[in-house]
Amino acid sequence: MTVYLLCFALFLVGIYGIITKRDLVRIIISWGIMGYAVNLMFVLFGYKNGSIYPIFVKNAPVLPQTMVDPLPQALVLTSIVIELGNTAMLAALAVRLFQKYQTFDITKIRRLSG
């Protein structure tokens, strides 16, 4: 149970980063940290004590009962790729914003009224 709490703490560190930090790069970084925390927690849900990776090997027959849960691993593989796509788009947006506003400070990027 403590492992899940530590993952949730890492998630909260990410939220802390997004709320308090002012420049774009740190916001992208803290979103990355949130993504790591969620992915890790998802895989930790699937771990079974004393069991091995879910790959059958030719000459070492392994009982399926002694294998880890493969489903969270498949889903987290997808969410890691989603995380990379998101980082790429946020980085592209931040670069264009720097080109237009000459700063990364989100408080100075205030062209939108209201």
Partner 1 sequence: MILPFFIIIPLLTAFVITLISGERDDWAVILSIIVEISLLILSVFCFFRVDGTAVIYKMSNWKAPIGIILVADSLSIFMLIIVSFIALTSLIFSVHYIRHLSPSWNYYALFMLLVTGMNGVIATGDLFNMFVFVEITLFAAYALVAYGNRAEEFEASFKYAIMGSISSAFVLLGIGITYAMTSTLTLANIAEVLKQKDPMVSLWIGGIFLAGFGLKAAIMPFHAWLPDAHSSAPAPISAMLSGVLIKALGVYVLIRLFFNVLGGIAIFNEVFVILGTISILVGGFLAMGQWDFKRLLAYSSISQVGYIFLGIGLGTWLGILGAVFHLLNHAIFKSLLFYNAGSLETAFGTRDLRKMGNVAKALPVTSFTSMVASLSISGVPPFNGFFSKLIIIIAAIQAGRPIYAFLAAIGSLITLAYYMKVQRFGFHGKNILQVEKNAVSFGMNSAMIILAVLCLVTSLLIVPGIREATLDTIVAVIMNKTGYVSQILGRQ
Partner 2 sequence: MPVESWLIFLLSFMIVGSIIALEMKDLLSAVISVGVVGLGVSVAFLLVQAPDLAVVQFLFEIFSIIIMVRAFIKKDYHQEAPSKVNKILTGVTLITLIAVFLLSIPLFKLIPTFGEPLMTTSRYYLENGAAETGAANIVSAVILDYRAYDTLGETTVLFTAILGTLTIIRIKKRAKATEEEKS
Partner 3 sequence: MKQTEGMTLIVKTVTRISVWLVLLYGIYIILHGHLSPGGGFAGGVIIALAFLNVMLAFGRDFIKNWLNIDMLHDIDSSSATMFIAVGILGIAFGGSFLANFIPHGTLFNLVSSGTIQVLNIVIGLKVGMGLFIVVWALVLFHLDQKE
- The verdict on 3 binding partner 3 (CB under 8 A) reads no
By CB under 8 A, residue 17 contacts partner 1: no
CA distance 9 to 16: 10
Interacting positions 73-112 with partner 3 (CB under 8 A) = 77, 81, 84, 88, 91-92, 95, 99
- What x-and-dash track marks residues 36-65 binding partner 1 by CB under 8 A? --xx-xx--x--------------------
Cβ neighbors of 44 (< 8 A, separation 6 or more) are 3, 4, 7
How many angstroms separate the CA atoms of 1 and 5, rounded?
7
Asked if 7 contacts 40 with a C-beta cutoff of 8 angstroms, the reply is: yes
Q: Is 67 in the site for partner 1 (CB under 8 A)?
A: no
Radius of gyration in angstroms for the set of CA atoms belonging to the chain, rounded to a whole number:
20
Q: Which does 52 bind (CB under 5 to 8 A by kind): partner 1, partner 2, partner 3, none?
A: partner 2
Asked if 114 contacts 102 with a C-beta cutoff of 8 angstroms, the reply is: no
Interface positions with partner 3 (CB under 8 A): 53, 55-56, 58, 77, 81, 84, 88, 91-92, 95, 99
